[in-house]
Amino acid sequence: MSNAFRLARGGRIDRDRPLHFRFDGREYQGYRGDTLASALLANGVHGVTTSIKYGRPRGIMAAGPEEPNALVQVEKPFPEPMLTATTLALRDGMEAAGLPGRGSLATEPDPARYDAMHAHCDVLVVGAGPAGLAAAVTAARSGARVILADADTESGGSLLGTGELLDGAPATVWVQRAVRELAAHPEVRLLERTTVFGHYEDNYAVAVQHRGDDAPSRQRIWRIRAREIVLATGAHERPLVFPGNDRPGTMLAGSARTYLHRYGVLPGSRAVVFTTNDSAYAAAIDLHDAGVDIAAIVDARDVVSTYWASLCVQRGITIRHSATVAGTSGTERVTGAYLANLSHGATHAMNVRRVVRCDLLLVSGGWNPAVQLHGQSGGAVRFDEDTASFLPEPDDRRVRSAGAAAGAFTTAACLRTGADAGAEAARACGFAAEPGTLPDAKHPPVLAGYRGPWFLPSPIDNEGGTQFVDLARDATVADIRRAVGAGMDNVEHVKRYTTIGTAHDQGKTSGTTSTGIIAELLGRDVADIGTTTSRAPYTPVTFAALAGRDRGDLYDPIRVTALHDWHVEHGAPFENVGQWKRPWYYPRRGEDMEAAVLRECRAVRTGVGMQDVSTLGKIDVQGPDAAEFLDLVYTNKMSTLRVGRIRYGVMCTADGMVFDDGTLMRTAEHRYLLTTTSGNAAAVLEWLEDWLQTEWTHLRVHLTSVTEHWATIALAGPHSRDVLARVTDIDVDNDAFGFMDWRDGTVAGRSARVCRISFSGELAFEINIPWWYGREVWEALHDAGKRFGITPYGTETMHVLRAEKGLPIVGQDTDGTVTPYDLGMSWAVSKKKDDFLGKRSFSRVDTARSDRKHLVGLLPRDTGVVVPEGSQLVATTELPAPPVPMLGHVTSSYRSSVLGQGFSLALVKAGRERIGETIYSPVGGRLIPLEVTEPVFYDKEGARRDG
Amino acid sequence: MLLLPCPWCGPRNETEFHYGGQAHVRYPDDPQAVSDEEWAQFLFFRDNPKGTFAERWSHRMGCRRWFTLHRDTRTHEIRTDDRTSPARTVTR
Amino acid sequence: MAELYGESPLTSRTHALDRDSAPQAVRLTEIAFTPQIGLRVDPKSSAAERISTAIGAMLPHQPDSAVHTGDLLVLALGPDEWLLVGREGTAGALQATLTAALGEDHGAVVDVSAQRTIIGVSGPMSRDLLNQGCALDLHPRAFGEGRCAQTLLARTGVVVVCRDAELPSFWLLVRSSFARYTADWLADAATEYRTTVPAAPGAAANDYAVCS
Amino acid sequence: MPRTPGADLPEHPDRLWHNPDPKSSYDAVIVGGGGHGLATAYYLAVNHGMTDIAVLESGWLAGGNMARNTTIIRSNYLWDESAGLYEHALKLWEGLEDELDYPLLFSQRGVLNLAHSLQEVRDSVRRVEANKLNGIDAEWVDPQQVAEICPILNTSPDLRYPVLGATWQPRAGIAKHDHVAWGLARALDRMGVDLVQNCQVTGFERVGDRVVGVRTTRGTIHAGKVALAAAGQTSVLADELGLRLPIQSHPLQALVSELLEPVHPTVVMSNAVHVYVSQAHKGELVLGAGIDSYNSYSRHGAFHTIEREMTAAVELFPMFARAHVLRTWAGTVDVTPDASAIMGLTPFEGLYINCGWGTGGFKATPGVGWCYAHTIAHDEPHPLNAPFSLERFTTGALIDEHGAAGVAH
Ligand SMILES: Cc1cc2nc3c(=O)[nH]c(=O)nc-3n(C[C@H](O)[C@H](O)[C@H](O)COP(=O)(O)OP(=O)(O)OC[C@H]3O[C@@H](n4cnc5c(N)ncnc54)[C@H](O)[C@@H]3O)c2cc1C
Ligand SMILES: NC(=O)c1ccc[n+]([C@@H]2O[C@H](COP(=O)([O-])OP(=O)(O)OC[C@H]3O[C@@H](n4cnc5c(N)ncnc54)[C@H](O)[C@@H]3O)[C@@H](O)[C@H]2O)c1
Ligand SMILES: Cc1cc2nc3c(=O)[nH]c(=O)nc-3n(C[C@H](O)[C@H](O)[C@H](O)COP(=O)(O)O)c2cc1C
Ligand SMILES: [Zn+2]
């Protein structure tokens, strides 16, 4: 039965390019230019799948994205669920299967690439039918930058499927001319196979381009910022609601015409045409002329057009007016239509008069303008009684509709409204634009459509259980009836009760009809009921397309320091700290993490270690009021810091909670260098700018981020001075270079700024050199330190060492609910300053409580234990029934080489009052006894910092 | 994706900016002198109008300047006189 | 130079950038070790005038504009903020000139030479390449020579400078820690131009595409 | 006959509610016919014998955030105060289906909250340990166990932010939001409570500091007690009384895929690789992420939020690459400074407030109803909601759930 329904001639397929494909396991052949649907129809296949709820056979209903039925699962070249056969371009070797409602996802990874592109234009035209082409050509001639996007594989829109004439020649000739003209404009971008699927604020339109499996990216998201938008998205034909209206072989009349003209396919041999308006007549005539036996035209109207009647008479086609299809026969495919007369006013159907045999039932219930994007853009719609459809309400936003999307249902009107819209849009962008002369399109007089009930009365099915409204969701008139009966009078409730409009097609064919039926059942106006909300996407879009190229390593920037490669070469695993990669520890052969960290800790405590601390945020603060400013943002007093000196400082948010900490060095009378924690650098800078620019505008201060200008190397341990001395010209003697001093000089021949800061409690230095010299200086220090057994250490060791000294880490030992007092840092909170950020909050009732959680130390009675971080703390030796009162939790916990045991920092209710007490932590079903201690475990007197 | 008019750099995509909430919220002249209630108002209570809202934005990925906009919270429309005569700095 | 300057943020990527360039379409190169000085000063002040005199050009008033004066490129980054990009080896001199011109007035001169590196993007598809991740309108009418902008490229901040609108050619100034990410991102974006030329409209024969 | 398992969702009843005109006076009116308003009316009737009540809804019943949420239910919050309230709600969920005699499709399929950094691991363990002591089923699971629970999740260490483990609450899950609303509504309708739709409250009737009724688009209605349950719109109402609140209304978006064969057995939430996903009964994947940054009442979010969310989704679930986004939407959520709700008395006598549930109040629905009804009936907060007072912002006793709530749920 190969291509038995393919005409010998005609259509826009490439007959020299046959394509082989499999559907539901069977081999077929089609041509390049076919969709899967047209190729199936050419092979006589209508039935594509079964319906989701009732398992009824379902076929191809439409020829575009409005298709409610013909869902397929692509199996090859790569599995993709739920595509409509009517929009799926055929390719050689394609394998697909009918999909009864639910798709399946591939288990192997998608090999395709997806990307995105930003674009700007004066005028974006959506849709390249007659209206869109006219709009684009008009706007382009004015010199405006134009983007014309169309979902289809070629431009022309409906003109590709109607066989009509423009200026006496096939309309496609004009289409080609228009496209050629547009392509020649340097300021025009033509986007074929590109569906504009979303409209967002300020005319930001998003589109997906289907570039094909072999393209550099399979799909591309276009992010288009347009000054003006013309929506020329056409209209979708409405099916009719009658018993058995879902049998395969039932097809929209206009779609049948498209299959004929565009694909050279006859969708059947004997057709009944059932319509409520003029538009189906053209389909009937064209199909008849192509060889389809038109068994009858059933027109629900009492009066039919004399123009079309005479054409039918010439061809011997019978028209039955005031009639309806009251039911259908057939199982896998329609075999006949039951015709009945309609009473006057069409409120009742008479008994079935006649059964007409057919294998094709063409239906047309009028047209729904594709107002989805208009709706997304915030545009209103109004119900138009004449066309029984919702039309876009024009407004003064920069989005305008044209053509069938605006209710212009003749080609002449589409061309005119398109050209007008294009000209207006271009003018709105400041271009002198005039709609030029348009091709001549003949159109017959149009007779008003049928105004009877939205579901046709039938003696066969009173409840409407076989009268399908949303075929994709298997929802019927009976379902709407039940919803309304349940008390629902809102279209949104009915949608959710019946699920109408919630399938892949988002109710393109069912929306207006279901509103009509609700109105009818409630005896209210259609306009009153209205529509459901249009939402992006207009047609479904793959997750992968939206994800684009921000995948894998590009998911989020990987920030590295100047020393990164050295760390890699030396085997360090990395810790993610914000976007930074920081070396975590440097395992030697055979070492696990714990062993490596204990070794690194020992090295710092007894010899010397070195760490890359370049990730610390650094901000240059300058200006005559810098000191005053810093006094306001730090809890400490910073104005008293002397040039050449460094001070540790804490910043709080205005609610008194610790926000960041770091060191501040005074580099000149009016200049400081401030450091922040690694993850917080951007936030701190923004926070400082905020206060400077919006609150303390009188302060003369400038902030400059210099984080990456400097590479920073920490050198820590009793031998750090010895190492540094070998490579620097700075006098590193304790008297010359004291704790919390900084000095400029050279290190390994490069100019450097060296600070005496210690985060480990040991004698330590931090060496800052411009990024470019980072590795060179690091290696020089490493060489110089060899004789002292210099040991590179990572973040984990740094954490252990600082915890032994009771130094908290913001974000680990604090969680946004902790004040400096809670941390036991009242020494860092100035009592002398009138104000600073956070000060006022310390006296609030809750913040001033003495039983708040305090940072304390914990020592397990069992020295072999390291309590897991995050463990909760309780006061009792046995757990009562929940809820168990909790005292706090363990924030940091490690095994210490110097203590020879595990130890923790914890936030504990009234912790400082509990020092010396024993509290407990439930760990793995046991209660571990812990002694509450001061948070400083090692070198409490601070004797080691001078070496 | 809002298109926000930075008074310095011109219209830019929302993703370049950081939102700062209500504008013109003043830091008390003397925080130590205000009551707990007034302090709480300053810290946590903000207008949340349905309609025009004076709000702060920082052009984080651009010039790093803070500025004020009047935006309709129903439609996201930005009052056009702000486009032409933007507030350059604000008092919170 | 390496002797003098150590290692630039993209030293390890030099080869990769070269490989990932698509000679007919886009070329990616690092322009390393350029002196860069951040300048903050009130544009209406006499200090600003003195600085203009010292560098031989008015500080551009309009943010997002870039002017050349001799070897110096002056980028206006904000209402009172500029980034001066000089010729290799002149950082110290430039900083001294600016500091001297600023004198005792309120302002800031900060050496940020190593804070950012520069990636050059040139060739006919440069705009296309950048627009894969940069939302600016790079059309020559909107962003020609004399223009610069601080903006987002993919997921990081950059300063984009139009060097030549005709060729075209752009500079991206990117923070050193993000440089590799940006380079990798650009190289990945250039995949498009290294493989075959994109299919002409409608000419995708072997295509499995969805038309809506 | 149904071809697809799960497509045969339970039928709704033939009768849900009547649409009465509002009376001129009630013992109590509840402003807002979302889940919280309905549940509150329900427990006022059931626990406190009050049935002369009206629920006033400006639009269609449960068409606010109740119609828009990703339906995640769990109780594994950090602080005792939250744990108490959410766990109470979860226990009520466990009996609600029977009580309402309505298929709520409450499915306790568990929830995984992923940890992607060492700090997230610490925070997660902390929360799990706190949960356990609060009697909440919670577990810390390592990457391998994560993979066993949810095999389609990418637990490879090569991920930019690898999964380092997760918290696991087996009793958590999802329920079908509309069914919940309608089940409550039907019960209320049967008990004689008036559910009044298309009735927007525009102001209040006051005698001094006492609120004695509401002005509505359908006339003035007197009431002994007025209880606000208006979620994202609360500030607009409070403005009428000059009552400033610490809430900001933001868009929160969600989206669904087409219907798919069951692939996703549980609920997965990730703060760092920001997305949360479950698969609804019908088969669609339901996904959400964080709020949009700015204040808005538009029920419309920004597209870059969706793009970022999809990136996260495909990173964590590579098999979702060729799933399709079918529909996106947004709700208006009321966000507080500490990511915890506000429920209790107000400076006005006879006026009660429940708001600030932000991105995560669906799960609390029955718990809110229970406690809020108590607050209204007794003019005093239930012990479970006492900590959620407005005063906490003055005293500083915030209940900071940013960690447990993420930016959403
Ligand atoms: C996208 C999204 C995802 C979410 N996901 C989750 C989740 O997974 N889990 C979770 O627990 N929570 C989630 N939430 C949050 C949850 O939806 C809300 O916290 C919860 O629904 C709020 O309570 P409600 O149901 O009463 O609100 P709503 O349903 O919004 O009810 C408020 C009602 O008040 C009405 N109203 C407002 N003003 C007036 C007036 N003046 N007069 C009369 N009526 C008025 C509104 O029309 C509305 O119907 C999500 C929210 C969103 C938007
Ligand atoms: N006889 C009738 O009653 C009747 C009714 C309706 C339409 N028509 C005819 O149909 C034609 C309508 O012309 P038109 O130009 O208004 O529409 P059209 O249908 O010819 O073209 C619309 C185009 O828009 C594209 N499109 C739709 N949505 C899109 C999106 N979101 N993104 C990208 N592309 C999208 C479609 O692919 C299509 O090519 C006229 O010829 C008219 O006579 C006739
Ligand atoms: C849990 C859940 C599942 C949903 N599933 C679907 C669906 O399968 N198809 C659909 O079109 N919409 C679905 N929706 C979205 C609704 O259609 C709708 O967008 C949402 O209720 C918000 O309302 P609005 O878009 O009318 O403003 C779902 C919503 C939720 C909350
Ligand atoms: Zn700016």
Same domain, C188 and C118: yes
Provide the 3-class DSSP secondary structure of residue D113: strand
Provide the 3-class DSSP secondary structure of residue C188: helix
Q: What is the model's pLDDT at position A351?
A: 77
Using the mean position of ligand 1's atoms as its centre, give its distance from the Cα of residue D254 in Å: 13
Phi, psi of C50, rounded to the nearest 5 degrees: -60, -40
pLDDT per position as a tens digit, A585-628: 999 999 999 999 999 999 999 999 999 999 999 999 999 999 99
- On whether residue C204 sits in a domain, the answer given is no
Same domain, A213 and A128: yes
pLDDT-derived band at D408, boundaries 50, 70, 90: very low
User: What is the CATH number for C177?
Assistant: 3.30.1360.120
User: What is the CATH number for A609?
Assistant: 3.30.1360.120
Measure the CA–CA gap between A393 and A395, rounded to whole angstroms: 6
Asked whether the predicted pLDDT for residue C110 surpasses 50, the reply is yes
Which secondary structure element, helix H or strand E, spans residue A929, and what is its range? strand A926-933
- On whether residue A591 sits in a domain, the answer given is yes
Q: Which of A234, A236, A259 is nearest to A12 (CA)?
A: A259
Asked whether the predicted pLDDT for residue C2 surpasses 90, the reply is no
Counting beta carbons within 10 angstroms of the beta carbon of residue C146, is it exposed (0 to 12), middle (13 to 18) or buried (19 or more)?
middle
- On whether residue C5 sits in a domain, the answer given is no
Q: Please identify which residue in the block is written with the tokens 């201690």.
A: A933
C60 cis-preceded (ω within 30 degrees of 0): no
Asked whether the predicted pLDDT for residue C116 surpasses 70, the reply is yes
Same domain, A284 and A252: yes
Counting beta carbons within 10 angstroms of the beta carbon of residue A276, is it exposed (0 to 12), middle (13 to 18) or buried (19 or more)?
buried
Same domain, A921 and A797: no
Max CA separation in chain B (angstroms): 43
Asked whether the predicted pLDDT for residue D330 surpasses 90, the reply is yes
pLDDT per position as a tens digit, D220-274: 999 999 999 999 999 999 999 999 999 999 999 999 999 999 999 999 999 989 9
Same domain, A96 and A132: no
Same domain, C64 and C119: no
Mutate to test the interface with C, among B2, B3, B4, B9 (most CBs of C within 10 A): B9
Same domain, A604 and A719: yes
Same domain, A684 and A721: no
- On whether residue C166 sits in a domain, the answer given is yes
Q: What is the model's pLDDT at position C81?
A: 96
Q: Are B73 and B53 in contact (CB under 8 A)?
A: yes
- What chains are in contact with C, requiring at least 3 Cβ pairs below 8 Å? A, B
pLDDT per position as a tens digit, D146-191: 999 999 999 999 999 999 999 999 999 999 999 999 999 999 999 9
Same domain, C100 and C46: yes
Same domain, A140 and A225: yes
Asked whether the predicted pLDDT for residue D406 surpasses 60, the reply is no
Task: Share the mean pLDDT of chain A.
Answer: 96
Same domain, A85 and A124: no
- On whether residue C189 sits in a domain, the answer given is yes
pLDDT per position as a tens digit, A12-41: 999 999 999 999 999 999 999 999 999 999
D299 CA: nearest ligand 3 atom: 27
- On whether residue A453 sits in a domain, the answer given is no
- Neighbouring C-alpha atoms within 13 Å toward the C-beta of A883: 17
Q: Which residue has better confidence, C197 or C205?
A: C197
Provide the 3-class DSSP secondary structure of residue A472: coil
| Assigned token pair, D203 | 């102001």
All residues at 6 or more sequence positions from C9 whose CB lies less than 8 Å from its CB, including other chains: A562, A771, C30, C32, C117, C176, C177, C179, C180
Domain count along chain C: 2
pLDDT per position as a tens digit, D99-111: 999 999 999 999 9
Q: What is the model's pLDDT at position A347?
A: 67
3-state SS string over A518-580?
Answer: HHHHHCCCHHHHCCCCCCCCCCCEEHHHHHCCCCHHHCCCCECCCCHHHHHHCCCCEEEECCE
Measure the CA–CA gap between B40 and A334, rounded to whole angstroms: 72
Q: What is the model's pLDDT at position D409?
A: 45
Chain C neighbours among B 10-69 (CB < 8 Å)?
A: 10, 12-13, 15-16, 61-65
D298, D393, D394 member nearest B74 (Cβ): D298
All residues at 6 or more sequence positions from A305 whose CB lies less than 8 Å from its CB, including other chains: A278, A281, A444, A445, A446, A447
User: What is the CATH number for A880?
Assistant: 2.40.30.110
User: What is the CATH number for A329?
Assistant: 3.50.50.60
Closest-CA residue of D relative to A922 is D129
Same domain, A170 and A268: no
Least confident of A187-191, B5-9, D150-154: B5-9
The average pLDDT across A749-765 equals 97
pLDDT-derived band at A442, boundaries 50, 70, 90: confident
Please tell me the residue having the least CA distance from ligand 3 atom 12: A502
Q: What is the residue type of A53?
A: K
Counting beta carbons within 10 angstroms of the beta carbon of residue D158, is it exposed (0 to 12), middle (13 to 18) or buried (19 or more)?
exposed
Asked whether the predicted pLDDT for residue C211 surpasses 50, the reply is no
Q: What is the model's pLDDT at position A895?
A: 96
User: What is the CATH number for C55?
Assistant: 3.30.70.1520
Task: Share the mean pLDDT of chain D.
Answer: 95
Domain count along chain A: 7
Chain D neighbours among A 499-558 (CB < 8 Å)?
A: 499, 502-504, 506, 533, 535-537, 540-544, 546-548, 550-553, 555-556, 558
Length in residues, chain D? 409
User: What is the CATH number for A509?
Assistant: 1.10.10
Asked whether the predicted pLDDT for residue C140 surpasses 80, the reply is yes
Q: What is the model's pLDDT at position A157?
A: 98
| Cα→Cα distances D390→C2, D366, D385, D399, D406, Å | 63, 21, 11, 12, 22
Same domain, A105 and A251: no
With pLDDT > 90 as the criterion, what percentage of chain A qualifies? 95
How many Å lie between the alpha carbon of C177 and the closest alpha carbon of chain A? 5
- On whether residue C201 sits in a domain, the answer given is no
Asked whether the predicted pLDDT for residue C46 surpasses 60, the reply is yes
Measure the CA–CA gap between A408 and A131, rounded to whole angstroms: 9
Same domain, C146 and C191: yes
Task: Share the mean pLDDT of chain B.
Answer: 87
Q: Which of D133, D151, D149 is nearest to D141 (CA)?
A: D149
pLDDT-derived band at D8, boundaries 50, 70, 90: low
User: What is the CATH number for A11?
Assistant: 3.10.20.440
- On whether residue C57 sits in a domain, the answer given is yes
Asked whether the predicted pLDDT for residue C135 surpasses 90, the reply is yes
Same domain, C95 and C118: no
Domain boundary among A334, A364, A394: A364
Provide the 3-class DSSP secondary structure of residue D140: strand
Please tell me the residue having the least CA distance from ligand 1 atom 50: D69
With pLDDT > 70 as the criterion, what percentage of chain D qualifies? 96
Asked whether the predicted pLDDT for residue C198 surpasses 90, the reply is no
Same domain, A151 and A182: yes
The average pLDDT across C174-198 equals 89
Q: What is the model's pLDDT at position C3?
A: 55
Instruction: Count Cβ neighbours within 10 Å for each residue of A230-240 and write b for 16 or more, e otherwise.
Output: bbbbbbbbbbb
Domain boundary among A413, A435, A457: A435
Mark out the alpha helices in D286-336 (DSSP H runs): 303-316
Same domain, C120 and C69: no
Asked whether the predicted pLDDT for residue C209 surpasses 90, the reply is no
Provide the 3-class DSSP secondary structure of residue D125: helix
Count of CB atoms within 10 A of residue A889's CB?
25
Residues with CB under 6 Å of ligand 3 are A 492, 502, 506, 532-533, 535; D 67-69, 71, 177, 256, 280, 282, 284, 286, 299, 326-327, 329
Q: Which of C190, D256, B31 is nearest to A115 (CA)?
A: C190
All residues at 6 or more sequence positions from A11 whose CB lies less than 8 Å from its CB, including other chains: A33, A261, A262, A263, A264, A265
pLDDT-derived band at B81, boundaries 50, 70, 90: low
Length in residues, chain B? 92
Same domain, C121 and C27: yes
In order, the DSSP letters of A798-837 are HHHHHHHTT---TTTT--SS--TTTTT-GGGS-SS-S--T
Asked whether the predicted pLDDT for residue A345 surpasses 70, the reply is no
Asked whether the predicted pLDDT for residue A228 surpasses 80, the reply is yes
Mutate to test the interface with D, among A546, A579, A873, A905 (most CBs of D within 10 A): A546
- Give the pairing type, strands C36-41 and C107-111: antiparallel
- On whether residue C205 sits in a domain, the answer given is no
Counting beta carbons within 10 angstroms of the beta carbon of residue A95, is it exposed (0 to 12), middle (13 to 18) or buried (19 or more)?
middle
Structural domain containing residue C163: 11-32+114-195
The average pLDDT across A210-216 equals 93
Structural domain containing residue A674: 617-708
Q: Which residue has better confidence, D382 or C3?
A: D382
Q: What is the model's pLDDT at position B84?
A: 37
In order, the DSSP letters of D45-111 are HHHH----EEEE-SSSTT-SGGGT---EE----SSHHHHHHHHHHHHHHHHHHHHHTS----B---E
Same domain, A200 and A338: no
Asked whether the predicted pLDDT for residue A537 surpasses 90, the reply is yes
Same domain, C181 and C161: yes
Strands (DSSP E) found in D128-218: 139-141, 165-169, 173-174, 194-196, 201-207, 210-216
The average pLDDT across A754-779 equals 97
A115, A225, A580 member nearest C132 (Cβ): A115
Measure the CA–CA gap between D317 and D141, rounded to whole angstroms: 18
Strands (DSSP E) found in D210-341: 210-216, 219-228, 248-259, 267-270, 275-279, 284-291, 324-335
Same domain, C66 and C103: yes
| Assigned token pair, A149 | 């996007």
Measure the CA–CA gap between A558 and C9, rounded to whole angstroms: 13
Domain boundary among A80, A111, A142: A111
| Cα→Cα distances A627→A303, A622, A685, A757, A826, Å | 90, 9, 16, 21, 21
With pLDDT > 70 as the criterion, what percentage of chain C qualifies? 90
All residues at 6 or more sequence positions from A730 whose CB lies less than 8 Å from its CB, including other chains: A724, A737, A743, A744, A745, A746, A747, A754
Same domain, C99 and C128: no
- On whether residue C191 sits in a domain, the answer given is yes
Same domain, C107 and C150: no
Q: What is the model's pLDDT at position A452?
A: 82
Binary contact (C78, B8; C-beta < 8 A): yes
Q: What is the model's pLDDT at position D44?
A: 98
Question: How many helices and strands, by DSSP H and E, does chain D display?
Answer: 10, 18
The average pLDDT across A848-866 equals 96
Angle between helices A130-141 and A171-184 (to 10 degrees): 30
pTM as predicted: 0.97
Same domain, C23 and C93: no
